[in-house]
Amino acid sequence: MGRFAQSLGLLAVLAAGLLAPARLELFTIYEFTAYLIMAVLALSLAFVWGKGGIMCLGQAAFFGLGAYAWAVAAINFGPGLVALAVAIAAPAAFAAVLGYFMFYGRINDIYIGVITLAVTLILFNLINSTSGPQYRIGAALLGGFNGMTGIPTLAWPDGTPLDPAAIFRLTVIVIVAGIVAITLYLRTTPGKIAIAVRENETRAELLGYNVAQSKLITFTLGGALAGLGGCLFANWGAFVSPTIFSLVQSAQIIIWVIVGGRGTLIGPILGCIALQWATTKLGTQQVVQVNLVLGVVLAFFVLVVPQGIVPMICGLLRRKPSAKAEHPA
């Protein structure tokens, strides 16, 4: 019954997402598309950290690489499937190489978080220093701190670029497909091993499972999903800059996952959308500092609701029937 309800809910979300642009203003479509794109990024960390148990503080690195890879490939090869494949493959390959050295090198989880965050900051400084005309990949100028502008938008087979409504619908499809794909993967043998490694890495290793390989697969798939989110971001704004690798961006992803619920897939998505909406509204006034609010929210959930909103709500709903059974009317 639970799986049926989940499937029904995903179908309802997909239908609502596909129909929503017809009833929304253009500005609202742009705004909510940005929220949903960041939700793809939150989903990638929900998989890597929540399901795989890998504390990655630098998920923004793969998001940014996906955005820059799309920009470079779209300018050089055109905004088609080749550029889309490059935007997914580049961050996945980077995650695979980085993960190989971390996991087969048996680096502690805490240091993995530090390394991934350091890599993000290195990429930020590296891209930020490419402002000269000599810094180009083919016909694509990297632009340094000014970023890359005029990035081609993903086009239909006939060459017509996707309009904002189409990008909104595509993002909804990516989120729903991502949830379904992760759920199905976790039911396979590699997915079950990933859960076992998260629960008790030592026990999984003693049972004969290749812990390093399992972590590497999870980390690589999470990097690919984050890269896809970055690709959508570059399509949404036709612009990308080094700030996509910033420390603030990396911190926000962690907050989204903690607030929504680390062990779930839906929770981080809802937490991401809710916090982005709230910070956008707070940003329109000058009374309260947005980063201060995010810090207070993080402290509150870590201390008071460490499991996150969605697990807390699910726990309360499970208790109600049992309470009625113990105290019949």
The pTM assigned to this predicted structure is 0.91
The token pair at 245 is 């690798």
Confidence at residue 319, expressed as pLDDT on a 0 to 100 scale? 74
Confidence at residue 288, expressed as pLDDT on a 0 to 100 scale? 66
CA distance 55 to 97: 17
Closest C-alpha among 86, 66, 115 to residue 228: 66
DSSP at 132: S
Closest C-alpha among 51, 15, 89 to residue 263: 51
The domain segmentation of the chain, as residue ranges, is 24-129+151-245
pLDDT in tens, the chain (329 residues): 456 666 777 788 788 888 888 888 999 999 999 999 999 999 999 999 999 999 999 999 999 999 999 999 999 999 999 999 999 999 999 999 999 999 999 998 889 999 999 999 999 999 999 988 899 999 999 999 999 999 999 998 778 899 999 999 999 999 999 999 999 999 999 999 999 999 999 999 999 999 999 999 999 999 999 999 999 999 999 999 999 998 888 888 999 999 999 889 999 999 999 999 888 877 666 566 777 777 788 888 878 888 888 888 888 877 765 544 455 44
The token pair at 304 is 């008071």
Closest C-alpha among 241, 247, 266 to residue 256: 266
Confidence at residue 329, expressed as pLDDT on a 0 to 100 scale? 42
Contact 26, 211 (CB under 8 A): no
CA distance 198 to 69: 31
Q: Which residues pair with 136 in a beta bridge?
A: 141
Confidence at residue 1, expressed as pLDDT on a 0 to 100 scale? 43
CA distance 80 to 156: 8
